[in-house]
Amino acid sequence: AAESLRGKLGGSATDAQKDTANSALVKLLDDPDGYVVNRAAGTLIKCSFKESARALMARAVNRPDLARDVLKAVADDPTTGKIFVPVIRKMAASTQPAIRIEALTALASLSPEDCGEVMSRAVKNADPLVREAGLHGVQIALASMVPGNAGAAQSINSFQTAPTTREGPPLDSIAS
C-alpha cells in the first residue's frame, strides 16, 4: 500500500492526489502492525516530511521504532525542527531509554545554546547508553557553537553513538 501511495506523491501527481496519498499514509501510522507503520513513516519522511511532521512526531513520542528516523528528519530540517524543540525536550525525559537517546541528539542539533541542563542530566543517567548519548549531545552542541565550524556539528551528528538502541533496518531502507 505504501508503495502505491508513494507513487501518487511523486512529481507527476496533482496537489489533490498528493494530499489524498499523504492523508492515507498518515492514517497508516495508527495501524496495529508495526511493519505497516514503519513503511508508512519511511514514505512520509522521504516524500512529504514537512506536511506530515506533526503526525510523525505525535507517533514518535511513544514509539522507539519511529523515534530515530523521525527525530533525525526533524533535526535535519532546522526550520521545521525548531517548532518541535519543546516536544523533543519532553522526549529527552521519556521513560523509554531508546526515545531519550534519540531525543538528546536531535535537541543538541536544534537547540545547542540551551540544551546544557538536559545533557547534564543525561550524562548522570543510570543507563550507559543514555549517558553516552548525553556526551554525544554535548559534542554536537559545542561543535555547532564554534564560529566557522558549522560542518563539524553535522559531521559529529552523523556518528552513531548507540547502534543497540535500534531493532531492524533503518526506515529509509524499508521504504525504498
What is the CA 35 to chain-centroid distance, rounded? 18
Please give the pLDDT value at position 159: 47
Average pLDDT over residues 109-121: 95
Angle at 105 between CA 137 and CA 58, to 5 degrees: 150
For 14-52, the pLDDT digits (tens) are 888 888 989 999 999 999 999 999 999 999 999 889 999
What is the DSSP-derived secondary structure letter of residue 101? H
- Residue 104 makes CB contacts below 8 A (sequence gap 6+) with 92, 118, 119, 122, 130, 133, 134, 136, 137
Spatial contact of 134 and 125, defined as CB atoms under 8 Å apart: yes
Does residue 156 carry a pLDDT above 90? Answer: no
Task: Report d(CA 132, CA 104) in Å as an integer.
Answer: 10
Supply the pLDDT for residue 148.
Answer: 73
Q: What is the pTM of this model?
A: 0.76
User: Mind listing the pLDDT tens digit for each residue in 45-100?
Assistant: 998 899 999 999 999 999 999 999 999 999 999 999 999 999 999 999 999 999 99
